[in-house]
Amino acid sequence: MNKEKLVEWFKEGNVSIPKLLIVNYKALGLNEDDFMLILQIMASLQGGNSFPTPTELSNRMTFSDTKCSDLLRRLIQRGFLEIIEERDEHGLFYEKYSLNPLWDKIVQMLLFEDQRKEEITLRNEEADLYSIFENEFGRPLSPFECETLAMWLDQDHHDPVIIKGALREAVMSGKINFRYIDRILFEWKKNGIKTIDQAQKHSQKFRQHQQKSKQPNDQSGEYKRTIPFYNWLET
């Protein structure tokens, strides 16, 4: 192998292709022709040619000049590619291709996918919440109870985990009814409680306060059996 030729090949450099583009170009609505043309534009941009002509692109591909022009126009129309103006060191304007619209679409797609997964998780948690309530009540929920549960989620924006915690508190107190649970949620929200850890600490302080206020002034020294605190919020 010619050593000088090998050096020239290395000097040509590499083209960096984001894996997200390779994996998601189909999901973005791009086909193989679009994808290959985008790669050629990326190679040109990274090689210092910021505005390759359809002919220059066609010379590297099996596409004709006309097809390259059509693909370029379609990519621009669909918002994957844009032509921008910049100034050179002499203050003269020149045109160049920008793939920023493509990267923006990938980011938006990923954000949408994350949001969709969060919504699915939330719906599953809400469905599970109804089942937990019915299991604790030992019967199907009434329409009014279902409406109340939906109000806690949609209007009051209580986290399903917090609602589940309030239900457990009601069970521990022997007061399994929606009015009592609603009161717990109201108190927690009033005290800025948004997490299970905060609810746990608040509940523990409340019970300790109740225990102190109910202690009799018995100085006889008689042994009193105490019931250990059950940490229902522990996961």
Tens digit of pLDDT for each residue in 104-125? 999 999 999 988 988 888 888 8
Pairing of strands 93-98, 82-87: antiparallel
The residue count for the chain: 235
pLDDT on residue 225? 36
Instruction: State residue 24's pLDDT score.
Output: 94
Query: Quick one: what percent of the chain has pLDDT higher than 90?
Result: 55
pLDDT at 159 over 70: yes
CATH domain 9-98 topology: Arc Repressor Mutant, subunit A (1.10.10)
pLDDT mean across residues, the chain: 84
Of 53, 27, 26, which Cα lies nearest the Cα of 40?
53
- Where is mean pLDDT largest: 78-82, 205-209, 228-232? 78-82
Task: Annotate 161-170 with b (16+ C-beta within 10 A) or e (fewer).
Answer: bbbbbbbbbb
In which region does residue 174 sit, left (phi positive, over 0), alpha (psi from -120 to 50) or beta (all else)?
Answer: left
State residue 55's pLDDT score. Answer: 96
pLDDT tens, residue by residue, 125-134 = 888 999 999 9
3-state secondary structure of 178: helix
pTM over 0.75: no
Domain ranges of the chain: 9-98, 115-212
Confirm whether 9-98 and 115-212 share one CATH topology. yes
Q: Given a cut of 90, is residue 201 above it in pLDDT?
A: no
- Reply yes or no on whether the pLDDT at 175 is more than 70: yes
Superfamily holding 115-212: DnaD domain-like (1.10.10.630)
